[in-house]
């Protein structure tokens, strides 16, 4: 059984994330996709949004989207949130499932900077989402990984494969949403309804003189 694990800071979770998770689930026939909130990412800057708010929004978004599960396993651990640790722990708890770690191509290009990155292939398949407008050339180490591990069709009985989702993604980013909210620009059509209401109710990401 293939299961999707989709890690992110989700600051906030937006329609691009939900669309991506559903596209991967459908294309690869994943039984479910766990959206894992990264509490303290080791390979990128700390998120701007409060962890409790990010977790509430993730739960709201997943409860309205069939097959998606909000996962707090990285919140339960102390220290930096390393993917390799999450995968090892996840496999211990779910020995019968084959995890597919889902990530955007921007994140995939940074893979060599991840903690113990070469070991990831022993624990999961990697599923890459093509983000519109992103024409980056992947670093040599990533190209080498793809030469030996990339497949056109996922073998549902194996791990250690790299697969690129064919379906197009939506051009939405959390950075853009936070910028828009700071400038009081509309964001309603970029977010699930309950997430939009939550952000408004708690005045998240708004311009504040105190923050200057």
Task: Point out which residues bind ligand ATP (CB under 6 A).
Answer: 8-11, 16-17, 20, 103-104, 106-107, 129, 131, 169-170, 172-175
Residue 138 CB, shortest distance to ligand ATP, in Å, is 13
Burial group, residue 78, by CB count within 10 angstroms (0-12, 13-18, 19+) = exposed
Give the chain's length: 212
Instruction: Compute CA distances 187 → 47, 172, 179, 193, whole Å.
Output: 19, 10, 10, 11
Nearest to 207 by CA among 185, 188, 187: 185
Nearer to ligand ATP, 43 or 92 (CB): 43
Q: How far is the CB of 148 from ligand ATP (least distance, A)?
A: 22
Q: With respect to ligand ATP, which residue has the nearer C-beta, 151 or 170? A: 170
Closest distance to ligand ATP from the beta carbon of 9 (Å): 4
Cβ-based neighbours of 38, under 8 Å, separated by 6 or more: 7, 8, 9, 10, 47, 74, 81
- Shortest reach from residue 157's CB to ligand ATP, in Å: 25
Rank residues 62 and 174 by Cβ distance to ligand ATP and give the closer one. 174
Q: Which residue lies nearer to ligand ATP by CB, 103 or 142?
A: 103
């Amino acid at each position: 059984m293939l299961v999707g694990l989709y890690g992110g800071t989700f600051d906030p979770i937006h329609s691009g994330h939900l669309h991506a998770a559903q596209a991967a689930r459908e294309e690869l026939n994943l039984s479910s996709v766990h959206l894992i909130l990264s509490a303290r990412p080791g390979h990128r800057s700390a998120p701007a949004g409060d962890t409790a708010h990010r977790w509430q929004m993730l739960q709201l978004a997943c409860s309205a989207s069939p097959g998606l599960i909000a996962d707090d396993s990285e919140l339960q651990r102390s220290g930096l949130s390393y993917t390799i640790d999450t995968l090892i722990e996840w496999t211990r708890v779910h020995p019968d499932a084959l995890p597919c770690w889902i990530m955007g191509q921007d994140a995939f290009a940074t893979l060599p900077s991840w903690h113990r990155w070469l070991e990831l292939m022993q624990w999961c398949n990697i599923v890459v989402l093509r983000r519109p407008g992103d024409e980056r050339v992947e670093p040599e180490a990533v190209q080498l990984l793809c030469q030996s591990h990339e497949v056109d069709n996922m073998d549902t009985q194996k791990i250690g494969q790299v697969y690129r989702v064919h379906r197009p993604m939506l051009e939405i980013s959390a950075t853009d949403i936070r910028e828009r909210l700071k400038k009081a620009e509309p964001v309603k059509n970029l977010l699930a309804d309950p997430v939009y209401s939550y952000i408004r109710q708690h005045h998240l990401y708004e311009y504040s003189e105190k923050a200057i």
